[in-house]
Amino acid sequence: MDFSQLLNQIVPDRVKENEPMSRHTNFRIGGPAKWFVEVRSLEELKAVVALANRHRVSIFVMGGGSNTLVSDQGFDGVVVKIAMRQIQIDGIRVRAEAGVLSAALARATAKAGLGGLAWAISLPGTIGGAVRGNAGCFGGETKDHLVEVEILRNGEVLTISKNELA
């Protein structure tokens, strides 16, 4: 079985070959990704990363495509779009998966009567990207509302506190 077939076993109907990255970035530029995969769960993400590692295929992980520039030459590997979009609100504690749009989280927290994320309503991109780049605007920054993050490292999910992040 070739790599494309193996990817399709993990994420059926969400694998595209030679996908123009211009369709997935806010700047609407970029050549084709050899493979483009949308993952909707941690299990899918783990399986795709493990498969790519086994086959020595390069990986690029992306969220909403804001602030992402892709070469016109494209990417000779698998682009993994994080489409994990669950939000859980328990009292004042909020848990958002990496693929949640920043504006959607701002709306959800406001609807739940929570303040503090109004600044994020106009922030493009996803929570994963906001954490990665400490996104901010209008006087708010991601780091000011972060308690901890979960990351995938070497196939394991690790929880890292805000203070352990660079």
At 10 the pLDDT is: 97
Is residue 42 within 8 A of residue 48, CB to CB? The reply is no
Cα 108 to chain center, whole Å?
Answer: 18
Q: Tell me, what amino acid is at 35?
A: W
Measure the CA–CA gap between 146 and 129, rounded to whole angstroms. 13
Q: What is the CA radius of gyration of the chain?
A: 17
- Counting Cα atoms < 13 Å in the Cβ hemisphere of 66 gives 17
Mean pLDDT by 10 residues, the chain (166 residues): 95 96 94 98 97 97 90 97 97 96 96 92 91 86 92 93 88
So what's the pLDDT on residue 161? 95
CB 159, CB 147: distance < 8 Å: no
Measured CA to CA in angstroms, residue 142 lies from 11, 53, 123, 156 at distances of 31, 31, 11, 24
3-class DSSP state of 113: coil
Instruction: Name the DSSP class of 7.
Output: H
Concatenated DSSP letters of 69-81: ---TT-EEEEEEE
The pLDDT score that the predictor gives to residue 81 is 97
Residue type, 71: S
Cα 64 to Cα 80, 81, 103, distances in angstroms:
11, 8, 12
- C-alpha distances (whole Å) from 74 to each of 29, 41, 49, 109, 143 are 10, 26, 19, 37, 32
Count of Cβ atoms closer than 10 Å to residue 93 Cβ: 9
